[in-house]
Amino acid sequence: MIIGVCYKPPRIDEGDESQLLLQMEEASKLGQVVIMGDFNYPDIDWSNGVAKSEKASRCVNMLNDNFLFQVVQWNDSVLDLVISNNNELISNICVGEHLGNSDHNMVSFEIMLQRQRYKGVTKTLNFRRADFASLRASLQCVNWERLFMGLDTEGKWNIFKTLLCRYTQQYIPLVSKERHRKAKPLWLNKKVRVEVGNKKRAFKAFKLAGTAETFIRYKEANKACKKTIRQAKIEMERDIAARSKKNPKLFFNYVNSKKMKQEGVGTLLSRGGKLVDENGEKAEILNSYFSSVYTSEEPDNEGFPCNMPSSSNLATGAWVTREEIQKRLEHVKVNKGPGPDGIHPRVLNELSAVIAKPLHIIFQDSLRFGMVPRDWRIANVVPLFKKGSRSQPENYRPVSLTSVVGKLLEGVIRDRIVEYIAVHNTISLCQHGFMRNRSCQTNLVAFYEEVSRNLDAGMAVDVIYLDFAKAFYTVPHRRLMIKLRNIGLEHNICNWIENWLKDRVQRVVVNGTFSNWTSVVSGVPQGSVLGPLLFNLFINDLEVGIESTVSIFADDTKLCKTISSMQDAAALQSDLTKLENWAANWKMRFNVDKCKVMHFGRNNINANYLLNGSVLGVSLMDKDLGVFVDHKLSNSRQCHSVATKANKVLSCIKKGIDSRDENIFLPLYRSLVRPHLEYAVPFWAPVLKKDINELERVQRLQLNW
């Protein structure tokens, strides 16, 4: 890691300033870097990255183009900066008092740097040497009806899994993969290896003989090697560009393969304040934290009557057909990893025609009796870093990796429930999350259209932004089942979902090391197919009895009302209290620190509102579903944010892609840059000339490349 200290005089020569920025750019290419010092840029607002002068703009553009971050946030004119190309390195930033007679404040921070450990060997299936023809032939000879005779769902599943794993081991060999200190380039194919070998042999011959003839041969081999490498890169980049629309991860994996890789889970702080870097201990710390947010329910459900509509056990064989199962197997994403049962999705995809029959029998049996095999109720949890310090467990999001086969049946049940709620109009119109023909854009346009209309009429409006704490992980299972039965779902499907949620266990995996198993007593698994739909059904009655306008996207809730007097504010407070009571009755919690109120309109009385006994904070600008919204409904901040994101992606393409072929660059621009410029654009479309020019500058920059 490179650490640099800098002082830039206020009246620095333009050439010297350009040289300083160039040195910072070159340092950022050498690895992880931290640069600190007095930069004397008072005309940069670091909270949003807006520069007010040409010199300051050059500095901001250099930082954005080279993925450098300024991490000190104190006031509008920060002079003492801390800059890094990895903002996760910097933590515990503190701006203190003046040091002696100096007019500068002390800035203290910690650098969280961990030594990488490269050890261990993992074994994976070698699909290049797989004999799928023999594997299919072996499974076609199996008499599944005779093997399944007299067995329950669990027994049938175990027989299927055992036979599939046995034949997989027989016809698909394993390959050992070591953790290398530096990963091999993705473009390193067989032709490149041959040419690199020829170059090495030619160089060795030249060193031994030292003649002009051997030197000419070495130069020819070197030239051929460079040409082959250049062609391999072009072919790789052309393939990435062609597939970037459907799979943008390919591009970022290719770019990240060229950079210094960062460990997914950093050094963690235990409850005792001790730094832990062993994988097993980190997995246990994360597992303990993830389990601590679950909601416990009382033994009974008194006070929550369950008036189930008359429903019958439908012939669930009609819910799923053999042809549908085979079609779903053919569309399984083969580049995903296996679940805890060890069945790889590539195997399911290749064997779709021969395993559709036994899976159809298992699925029918599972739906008919509501039984869920244990393998479908266990999960390996992968912690994904969100933001903040990597040493804090609360800054990681748990994503459950479950059985791929179990997800297939989840998809069938989800589609049937979606059809049912569409026919019966079960889901409220104010819910825009995870619903067909509804999205973030429809949520923003519909909600702020009403706000804008009231403001145009000269009225004041108050909007309350509400945020549930750990929403997906705290859904109480028994209360969820009450709501599912009350909407009239078939009895056997409710039983299936209840058993799917019952006795679930999970373990956290960190770099191939597992924690102990822990029971999952609440929540809908994040990473499951059914989870988002079940959450929508659980909070579907959130708006019942609310007089103010309510808009929901998954767990993000907004409450809106025109305010012309204290009586209107009291009515909005009454609705907020109703939501507070709803959350208490259904065992949900609001994160009061993240709940804010925004006052719109010149004549707003700026009333205060209480939630859980605390006064809500007032916000002048908030980020709603990824779009910046301020109390004046201006879109300049959003335009600047979008342009900055787009420029960063353009810089990533410029640095990550060696070729300048427009057939490579244009598809990457359309699939990676334009989505940033077009996301929810009907809501925040620019109207000021300076905002339009800022967005057009992104397009002109693309044309220059």
Identify whether the C-beta of residue 463 lies closer than 8 Å to the C-beta of residue 597.
yes
Q: Is 100 left (phi over 0), alpha (psi -120 to 50) or beta?
A: left
With 90 as the cut, is the pLDDT of residue 59 above it? no
With 90 as the cut, is the pLDDT of residue 595 above it? yes
With 90 as the cut, is the pLDDT of residue 701 above it? no
Identify whether the C-beta of residue 533 lies closer than 8 Å to the C-beta of residue 500.
no
Give one DSSP letter per residue of 621-647, joined into a string: EEEETTEEEETT---HHHHHHHHHHHH
With 70 as the cut, is the pLDDT of residue 443 above it? yes
Going by pLDDT thresholds of 50, 70 and 90, the confidence category of residue 202 is: very high
Q: What is the pLDDT of residue 559?
A: 93
> How many Å apart are CA 68 and CA 46, to the nearest integer?
13
Q: What is the pLDDT of residue 385?
A: 86
Q: What is the pLDDT of residue 315?
A: 44
* Per-residue pLDDT tens over the stretch 18-36: 888 888 888 887 778 888 8
- Tell me the pTM: 0.83
Q: What is the pLDDT of residue 620?
A: 92
DSSP 182: S
DSSP-derived 3-state class of residue 524: coil
Residue 444 corresponds to which tokens in the numbers above?
């923003």
* Per-residue pLDDT tens over the stretch 458-469: 999 999 999 999
Q: What is the pLDDT of residue 183?
A: 64
Q: What is the pLDDT of residue 314?
A: 44
Residue 360 has, within 13 A of its CA and on its CB side, a CA count of: 20
Q: What is the pLDDT of residue 65?
A: 75
Q: What is the pLDDT of residue 298?
A: 73
* Per-residue pLDDT tens over the stretch 613-623: 999 999 999 99
Q: What is the pLDDT of residue 461?
A: 95
With 90 as the cut, is the pLDDT of residue 43 above it? no
* Per-residue pLDDT tens over the stretch 303-329: 454 544 434 444 445 678 899 999 999
> How many Å apart are CA 329 and CA 350, to the nearest integer?
8
Q: How far is CA 487 from the centre of its chain?
A: 32
DSSP-derived 3-state class of residue 422: helix
With 80 as the cut, is the pLDDT of residue 91 above it? no
Between 600 and 256, the more confident residue is 600
How wide is the angle at C-alpha 62 spanned by C-alphas 58 and 64, nearest 5°? 120
Identify whether the C-beta of residue 355 lies closer than 8 Å to the C-beta of residue 325.
no
Q: What is the pLDDT of residue 204?
A: 93
Going by pLDDT thresholds of 50, 70 and 90, the confidence category of residue 131 is: very high
> How many Å apart are CA 314 and CA 309, to the nearest integer?
14
Between 42 and 371, the more confident residue is 371
Identify whether the C-beta of residue 391 lies closer than 8 Å to the C-beta of residue 266.
yes
Q: State the average pLDDT for the chain.
A: 86
Helix (H) or strand (E) holding 136: helix 132-140
For the chain, the farthest-separated pair of C-alpha atoms sits apart, in whole angstroms, at 98
> How many Å apart are CA 561 and CA 428, to the nearest integer?
19
* Per-residue pLDDT tens over the stretch 361-414: 999 999 998 899 999 999 999 998 888 777 888 889 888 899 999 999 999 999
* Per-residue pLDDT tens over the stretch 481-531: 999 999 888 888 999 999 999 999 999 998 888 999 999 999 998 888 999
With 60 as the cut, is the pLDDT of residue 181 above it? no
Measured on CA atoms in the order 33, 36, 41, 47, is the torsion positive or negative? positive
Lowest mean pLDDT among 90-94, 472-476, 489-493, 645-649: 90-94
Going by pLDDT thresholds of 50, 70 and 90, the confidence category of residue 100 is: confident
Q: Is 118 left (phi over 0), alpha (psi -120 to 50) or beta?
A: beta
> How many Å apart are CA 331 and CA 352, to the nearest integer?
10
> How many Å apart are CA 432 and CA 558, to the nearest integer?
12
With 60 as the cut, is the pLDDT of residue 86 above it? yes
The top-scoring range by mean pLDDT among 44-58, 371-385, 639-653 is 371-385
The pair phi, psi for residue 294, each rounded to 5°, is: -70, 155
